[in-house]
């Protein structure tokens, strides 16, 4: 089991490395050494900011067949590169600046200073409060739903256990998110109407996407029961179930990935306003490596071996959500965002190592004991 997983992981990272080198070469021919350097910097920025994304995605991806994992790594990367890194910023400028798509594309390729009020980067920066409200609400609900869920294994037991008991109140996550959005809109938002509308859209989007997950689970259970009743149903019924279930999870992962990408996409324009360099750095290098890491975590079984990684990733999501909401009014350096996530996930990894060593010394099953940190 281990050798094939390692071989598969090596192949995935090798492909990521080759494509990343190709992206840097393309950037060099596009704009010289400066463009190549900026592309590499943006790639590293994306990987640093999105490690928690990879861990959370891995928990979903491990429920998908290998075929859908490959679709996530191939078709999904096209969506990540062209959808989030090219089309999304253009769409934001079109909607917020009230200009035609053609004018937005023309503006994107004009070499105007970032401080110029007519520049593409400036207009995208002006739309940041709405983007932060949407992404912040989406990720906050993702974190709160996880936080209020009862689990057998807990990391910060002194905090997670009481919150899980409080979470038995129906729709508590939505209530907290809605109240927080209202307070932000009435106190710190320069344009409360736009921020509130974007935040509500983020909440609705999360509920819709989360509903897809529930639809998938109900569909999968009904198909399994049907197959058990019809022993001669044949492999086509199983294939159909996996196909539809995989499609739902694929959609869920794409929306989740988009939400994680907001801070990286906006932060990239502080480094360069060139959409081509952003697509090469954030997309072909950063996003591809993050997706490769996601598949690697699944096939290596890392999340099963280091059980607190998922906890650390979700706490990092909560921190990222709050940072996004803070940036509605105040600037937060991307380095701070990346470090917060790395520290939380690093602490979870160290706690997992300590737990595994303790369980190995005691000779008890790893999955049955909680550790208080």
> Which range has the top average pLDDT, 16-25, 40-49, 276-285?
16-25
Burial-class residue 288 by CB neighbours within 10 Å (0-12, 13-18, 19+).
Answer: buried
- Residue 65: the pLDDT is 75
Asked if 277 and 31 touch (Cβ cutoff 8 Å), the reply is yes
Quote the percentage of the chain above a pLDDT of 70: 81
Asked if 76 and 257 touch (Cβ cutoff 8 Å), the reply is yes
Stretch among 258-262, 284-288, 314-318 having the lowest mean pLDDT? 258-262
- Residue 1: the pLDDT is 40
- Residue 226: the pLDDT is 54
Q: How would DSSP label each residue in 200-211?
A: HHHHHHHHHHHH
Enter the pTM of the model.
Answer: 0.73
Q: What is the arithmetic mean of pLDDT over 291-311? A: 80
- Residue 184: the pLDDT is 92
Q: What is the arithmetic mean of pLDDT over 158-163? A: 85
The domain ranges of the chain are 2-368
Residue 223 has pLDDT above 70, yes or no: no
Tell me how far CA of residue 242 lies from CA of 209, 232, 296, 298, in angstroms.
19, 18, 21, 18
Which pLDDT tens digit goes with each residue over 332-362?
877 777 788 788 888 988 998 898 888 888 7
Q: What is the arithmetic mean of pLDDT over 39-64? A: 78
Residue 86 has pLDDT above 80, yes or no: no
Residue 187 has pLDDT above 60, yes or no: yes
Residue 247 has pLDDT above 50, yes or no: yes
SS3 content of the chain, % helix, strand, coil (to 5): 80, 0, 20
- Residue 17: the pLDDT is 83
- Residue 75: the pLDDT is 81
Quote the percentage of the chain above a pLDDT of 90: 7
- For all residues of the chain together, what is the average pLDDT? 77
Crossing angle, helix 235-268 and helix 192-229, to 10 degrees?
160
Q: What is the arithmetic mean of pLDDT over 44-70? A: 77
């Amino acid at each position: 089991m281990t050798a094939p997983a390692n071989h598969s992981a090596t192949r995935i990272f090798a492909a990521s490395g080759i494509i990343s080198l190709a992206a840097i070469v393309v950037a060099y021919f596009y704009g010289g050494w400066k463009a190549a350097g900026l592309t590499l910097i943006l790639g590293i920025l994306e990987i640093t900011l999105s490690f928690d994304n990879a861990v959370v995605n891995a928990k979903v991806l491990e429920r998908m067949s290998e075929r859908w994992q490959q679709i996530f790594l191939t078709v999904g990367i096209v969506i990540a590169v062209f959808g989030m890194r090219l089309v999304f910023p253009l769409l934001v400028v079109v909607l917020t600046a009230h200009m035609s798509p053609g004018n937005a594309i023309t503006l994107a390729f004009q070499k105007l200073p970032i401080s110029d009020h007519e520049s593409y980067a400036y207009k995208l920066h002006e739309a940041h409060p709405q983007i932060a409200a949407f992404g912040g609400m989406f990720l906050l609900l993702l974190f709160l739903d996880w936080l209020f869920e009862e689990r057998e294994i807990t990391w910060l037991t002194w905090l997670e256990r009481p919150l899980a008991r409080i979470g038995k109140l129906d729709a508590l996550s939505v209530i907290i998110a809605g109240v927080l959005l209202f307070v932000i809109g009435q106190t710190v938002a320069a344009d409360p109407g736009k921020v509130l509308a974007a935040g509500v859209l983020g909440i609705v989007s999360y509920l819709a996407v989360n509903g897809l997950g529930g639809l998938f689970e109900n569909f999968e259970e009904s198909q399994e029961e049907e197959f058990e009743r019809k022993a001669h149903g044949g492999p086509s019924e199983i294939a159909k179930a996996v196909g539809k279930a995989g499609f739902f999870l694929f959609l869920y992962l794409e929306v989740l990935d988009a939400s994680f990408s907001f801070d990286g996409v906006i932060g990239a324009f502080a480094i360069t306003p060139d959409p081509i360099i952003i697509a090469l750095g954030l997309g072909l290098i950063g996003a591809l490596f993050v997706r490769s890491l996601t598949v690697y975590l699944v096939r290596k079984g890392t999340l099963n071996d280091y059980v607190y990684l998922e906890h650390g990733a979700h706490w990092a999501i909560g921190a990222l959500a709050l940072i996004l909401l803070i940036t509605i009014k105040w600037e937060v350096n991307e380095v701070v965002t990346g470090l917060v996530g790395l520290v939380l996930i690093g602490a979870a990894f160290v706690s997992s190592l300590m737990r595994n060593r303790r369980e190995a010394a005691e000779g008890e099953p790893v999955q049955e004991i909680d550790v208080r940190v």
